Structure 1
Amino acid sequence: MTYRPAEDRYERMTYNRCGASGLKLPAISLGCWHNFGHDFPHQTKRDICLTAFDHGITHFDLANNYGPPAGSAEHAFGSILAEDLKPWRDELIISSKAGYYMWPGPYGEWGSRKYLVASCDQSLKRMGLDYVDIFYSHRPDPDTPLEETIGALDYIVRSGRALYAGISSYTAAQTKEAQRIAKELGTPIVIHQPSYNMLDRWIERDGLKDALPGLGIGSIVFIPLAQGMLTKKYLGGVPEDSRAAQGKSLDAHRINDRSIEALRGLDALAEERGQTLAQMALAWVLRNGGITSALIGASRPEQVVDCVGAIRTPDFTEDELKRIDELADEDSFAAWAKEAAGA
């Protein structure tokens, strides 16, 4: 059956301007880090993407190494694009990144010009695209001069391979220097993708969150649900099919009696606000317009619908923010994890 997107899709979503650019991103974006590899059914991937677009999610975030195996997420998304979404390509923001390991040898990871340009070309081929809307340096390279990495992003944009340049997981100091170089080259960085959630607030401590607006850079945060901890998944312990149980990307030691008690407190607060825990966690990330977009993952279409509901929730009161700070204390969560691990 031929796919037709919901006609009211743009009424279901809020769109925020990304930094000082003309780019607007949906408040909720879909990431393909998990559940888009060969270990996940293609039909479910398709249902997730089409449900997302039906609800106004126009931004699909990928990277060269997403899978498993590396590259398979881009292949899968490319197939969905060709099968269903190609007529609406001009309504979509498709992003990819390079920085993590992809192939053997000295040019298979990090931030050299050779690696970034080759990776971008490979990503375009896997997805069947002429260009991506955003291309990121996925992580800072401690050994390659920043001028080379940012120069490669400038070249990728100027050559038509990407429309916008971004960076991910750079500190505030690194971001300021990267933007200085980028502006001198004439291709300013328009977006930064750091990790951020109630249990991991490093961008606040580092000063990155406050620095980005003044630099003209927007923000899209990954793991806003703390790898599923800020959902109902772990309120009763560690399910067998969870990331924590399978050791995929969440340390099982973080799920213990004390952290579960805190998560249940957050869930109770979310219920008082008339929303799910996931919706509250996303609303907290997006509060006061400090973050442009929150990047979610999903294993079922229903999870996408639940997350989109975050944009229709009430503002936080000072008392609610205080309760969240008390319950979601990242130092305590870190300490409990070490305690559970016997450290």
Structure 2
Amino acid sequence: MSNWDLLNRFPRVRLMSGPTPIQRLDRLEEVLGEKRRGVSIWAKRDDLMELGGGGNKLRKLEFLIGQARSEGCDTLVVTGGVQSNFARLAAAACARTGLACEVVLAQMVPRETEIYQANGNVLLDGLFGARVHLLGTGDNASAFAAGRASEIATSGGKAFVGTLGGSTPVGALGYVDCAFEIAAQSKATSIAFDNVVIPNGSGGMHAGLAVGSALAGKDPSKVRAHTVLSSVETCVSATVEKVNAVFDLLGKNDRIRAEELAVDGAQLGGGYGMPTSDMVDAVRLVGRSEGLLLDPVYGGKAFAGLLSDIENEVIAPGSNVLFVMTGGSPGLYAYADALSSH
């Protein structure tokens, strides 16, 4: 059985037209000059997907909506922060596939400005037809979502509840698939990526890439994550648990230990969704050198980490590094005040 056959056993609804491209950021390299220490910087463009403005959560949603449909569900209820990219893409995917969608948005970030509460992803949630539940500070999103699922059942429907970031073992299969995709693209182009750099929020993306890398014969420790949600200890513990749950789901006895995961906490700053000056600098650098958009919550902080790792030679001079652009550009509009004030 091939690696691809492992995934073909699971229900899936295609939301992407094919592999996302990998491109070299040669203009950025030129701007960095000697600061890049001979490192070749590449981007896996998971922001370039046709549906909902694109972004990495569509990979998870292919398998999650497949699961929902296989269970006979007619409604998807998802939870996330106010500016959740997962909620936005779930709303778009439901519009495409004909499911009803409800998004339950919790106050995970202490930002009460009008643009944060109503613009960016929140605006798009409504445009895609989702019913938006904007909770108050201290409200429990998981309990609210469970309550809505019960109410939908009472009304004769059946709801599938998608947890934070879609980071269940089934959702993580989307990034097992991505790891296989990267391995195939690497082989086709004869470019060996010494590190793959990502943000780690709810851990599903990192778990999927680590499992997929291991199954593809790659070292999972070369997937280097920058935590944007929790401390390094909490992040590693949660990600290891997800990694091994994905192995179990795939019927594999493989295991990955905590020390085999590379997670850095230097870019977390004041916490999830809280801007940092390094994030703003990274967003501006990539925007002004490549015309590309990094989001302020995930990609901006992870790319700041990539630049720091190059400077400190955590990423070896002369190596090839692949940065996964996870999308999330609508969030820039919700952070206009922070991005313009620096």
Compute the TM-score of the two structures, normalised by the length of structure 2. Answer: 0.32
Structure with larger RCO (C-alpha < 8 A, sep 6+): 2
TM-score, with normalisation over the residues of structure 1? 0.32
